[in-house]
Amino acid sequence: MKITRILVALGLALACGTALANTYQIEGSVDYHHTAGTGHSDDRFSIRADYYFTPVLTLNHPLAEAAFLERTTRVRVQSDLEFDWMTLGGDFYFPNSSFYAGAALVRRENGDSETRLLGTVGFLPVEGLLVTTSLTDKGYDPNLRAKYVTHLGGSNFVNVEAEFVERRFDNLLSVIADFYLNRSWSIGAGYADNYGDELTLRTRKFFHNDFSAELTYTDTDWGRRVVLGGTLRF
């Protein structure tokens, strides 16, 4: 009888542990940024924290895309360690609908302080696809963004993101794709026409459901950028 009780208790503990391991509600990240060009370089750190209104279920999803695929509403704060810039924002998925809204308050200190408000509206026409457009308190420049995540079969997934912004002097056009070797590891590449050519390579690996590391390298016409980051989930 005692052995049976012990086995039942162990089974319940393992089940609870598995359930907890397959969800998270808080995510914190630290990133190191290195930028280098002709005759100049810059190094800085940034921090980011996300709080999700409901636990995010990661089961059967690529771990990096779980919150997006589950359409989980969140709030986010991020800044560099010198507080030269700070962003407070959030993403809201309307329950039982295909509509999305986002908002962000961005403050920058660059000699003079500047605060801007950004609003975004979007639509999810099919599972895994979000199409959005944004405006600021300064006005609206025609723009369109899309993100699509789909299952390719087995443990493979793909994420594709594209963006177009009509600007006064030169339009922005970018596309990037991530291929998931499995639920925990992705490799990606992208191109952007952003006042010149930008080529990006990136990878992210979850060593545990609650911890990941990522590396991004971008080569531009004026220099290069490297971002190394780590993320913890609770």
- At residue 87, the pLDDT reads 96
- At residue 6, the pLDDT reads 35
- At residue 38, the pLDDT reads 78
Question: Span 23-233: which CATH code?
Answer: 2.40.160.40
H-run or E-run covering 180: strand 172-182
pLDDT tens column, 63-78 = 999 999 999 999 999 9
Q: How far apart are CA 32 and CA 49, in angstroms?
A: 15
Percentage of the chain surpassing pLDDT 70?
91
Does residue 16 surpass a pLDDT of 50? no
Three-state secondary structure string covering 78-145: EEECCCCEEEEEEEEECCCCCEEEEEEEEEEEECEEEEEEEEEEEECCCCCEEEEEEEECCECCCEEE
Does residue 15 surpass a pLDDT of 90? no
pLDDT tens column, 85-120 = 899 999 999 999 999 999 999 998 876 788 999 999
pLDDT band at 7 (very low <50, low <70, confident <90, very high): very low
Given a contact cutoff of 8 angstroms between Cβ atoms, the answer to whether 56 and 70 are in contact is yes
Mean pLDDT of the chain: 90
- At residue 25, the pLDDT reads 98
- Residue 223 region, left (φ>0) first, then alpha (ψ -120 to 50), else beta? left
Tokens, residue 232: 């913890």
Does residue 228 surpass a pLDDT of 90? yes
- The residues with which 147 forms a beta bridge, in sequence order, are 130, 161
Given a contact cutoff of 8 angstroms between Cβ atoms, the answer to whether 21 and 5 are in contact is no
H-run or E-run covering 8: helix 2-21
pLDDT tens column, 126-138 = 999 999 999 999 9
Name the residue ranges covered by the structural domains of the chain: 23-233
pLDDT band at 20 (very low <50, low <70, confident <90, very high): very low
pLDDT band at 21 (very low <50, low <70, confident <90, very high): low
Give the chain's length. 234
pLDDT tens column, 163-204 = 999 998 899 999 999 999 999 999 999 999 999 999 999 999
Given a contact cutoff of 8 angstroms between Cβ atoms, the answer to whether 89 and 103 are in contact is yes
